[in-house]
Amino acid sequence: MSTKTFAGINVEVNEEGYMTDSSQWTKEIAKEIAKEEGIELTDTHFDVIEFIRSKVASGETLTIRGINKSGVVDAKTFYKLFPGAPLKKATKIAGLQKPESCI
């Protein structure tokens, strides 16, 4: 593990850059992680991120199908918001661990 500084806060990250303590997460940290991923966050991004954080907090498994059924965004929009690997990028920006379903 290593330490990275986002928004003036030192956070521990794993070898893939995912935060190891999600309680340190803030919107300012999210904006800096997103910038590293080439994403400029909008209110819609934050709606998705808040949905994801609430699902993880309640112990639910994250899937793209679940995002599609969330009522927040559909799968096509999810892919546009977080291009490439949407679930991996969204969880990373949300300060969460990479989902087990992602390789």
Structural Rg of the chain based on CA atoms: 13
Distance of CA 35 to the CA centre of its chain: 12
Is residue 66 within 8 A of residue 55, CB to CB? The reply is yes
pLDDT in tens, the chain (103 residues): 799 999 999 999 999 999 999 999 999 999 999 999 999 999 999 999 999 999 999 998 888 899 999 999 999 999 999 998 999 999 999 999 887 766 6
pTM for this predicted structure? 0.91
The encoded tokens of residue 52 equal 């994801």
Give catalytic residues, as residue numbers: 102
Which stretches of the chain are DSSP H helices? 27-36, 43-57, 64-68, 75-81, 86-93
Rounded alpha-carbon distances, angstroms, from residue 16 to 60, 63, 75, 91, 99: 22, 20, 25, 12, 12
Domain range annotation of the chain: 2-93
